Amino acid sequence: MLSIVIIGSGNVAHHLIKAISKSNKLEIKQVYARNKVNVIDVIDENKITNDVSQLKEADLYLISVSDAAVAEVSNKLMLENKLIAHTSGSLDMNVLDSKNRKGVFYPLQTFSKKKDVNFHEIPICLEAQNEKDYEVLETVAKNISNVVYSINSQQRKALHVSAVFVSNFVNHLYKIGNDICDENKIPFQILLPLIQETAQKINYLPPVAAQTGPAVRNDIEITQLHEAFLSDESQKKIYQLLTQSIQNNVKKL
């Protein structure tokens, strides 16, 4: 049985505590939370501490606090030569203090406390300084997920940028579509089957092959009509930039 201390009480900490608690091969030894009430709904009160000097012995310490606080929190830990991993997509493994062995345990998903997730489907990206520690991280990851990758800090940075494009930016484009629907008294729900089919399609086709629409067809008459329709300057710029980017790709093929 591998023992784990979770440091943090936010969105990711919440889901990690729930996922790890379900495994009979892993044990949540303790949770450190600045405000104990923030995790009281997912772990026994007697396992929560708000005193960093009271951390118990464990095989792995997972720091899941805001990116800006990871280095400071790892520095404050009164531990030596323990395996400490952070859960950030964008921070280098080396932000962790060198008095302990370093690792990364990055679950690639968007987490909110109030939205349940199926952890078994969530890719977990791992990195460690040595093989033995990697194996510990891998054992923990494989007990809560079926999708585990070895990803170094440089790759993780690239992965995070890629995730911003495919998730955060796509969601912002939904928002623009929603605004245009509202302005024209069209229910946004009418677009949901199209959104779902577009997302489903990339299970079968690479994105470049799945691309449709006036830009990839080089239908200049239609793209100009759309640009003229858009009165919002920011929407017009985004439309032009994305159209150009799609057309540049066509030229490269």
Ligand X SMILES: NC(=O)c1ccc[n+]([C@@H]2O[C@H](COP(=O)([O-])OP(=O)(O)OC[C@H]3O[C@@H](n4cnc5c(N)ncnc54)[C@H](OP(=O)(O)O)[C@@H]3O)[C@@H](O)[C@H]2O)c1
First to last CA, the chain: 52
| Residue nearer to ligand X on the CB measure, 66 or 224 | 66
| Residue nearer to ligand X on the CB measure, 12 or 83 | 12
Q: Of the ranges 61-69, 92-100, 126-134, 135-143, which one interacts with ligand X (CB under 6 A)? A: 61-69
200 touches ligand X by CB under 6 A: no
| Residue nearer to ligand X on the CB measure, 95 or 136 | 95
Q: Of the ranges 4-12, 124-132, 169-177, 219-227, which one interacts with ligand X (CB under 6 A)? A: 4-12
| Residue nearer to ligand X on the CB measure, 87 or 145 | 87
| Residue nearer to ligand X on the CB measure, 71 or 238 | 71
120 touches ligand X by CB under 6 A: no
219 touches ligand X by CB under 6 A: no
Q: Of how many residues is the chain composed?
A: 253
89 touches ligand X by CB under 6 A: yes
Residues 160-179 that bind ligand X (CB under 6 A): none
74 touches ligand X by CB under 6 A: no
Residues 16-35 that bind ligand X (CB under 6 A): 34-35
69 touches ligand X by CB under 6 A: yes
**Encoded tokens for 32:** 């450190």
Type of residue found at 176: I
| Residue nearer to ligand X on the CB measure, 12 or 55 | 12
| Residue nearer to ligand X on the CB measure, 8 or 136 | 8
> C-beta of 246: minimal distance to ligand X in Å?
29
Compute CA distances 146 → 19, 57, 87, whole Å. 12, 28, 18
Which of 41, 44, 57, 67 binds ligand X (CB under 6 A)? It is: 67
Contact in structure between 127 and 151 (CB atoms under 8 Å):
yes
Compute CA distances 238 → 112, 230, 235, whole Å. 28, 11, 5
> C-beta of 227: minimal distance to ligand X in Å?
35
For residue 109, how many other CB atoms are within 10 A of its CB?
17
Contact set with ligand X (CB under 6 A): 8-13, 34-35, 38, 64-67, 69-70, 72-73, 87-89, 106-107, 110-111
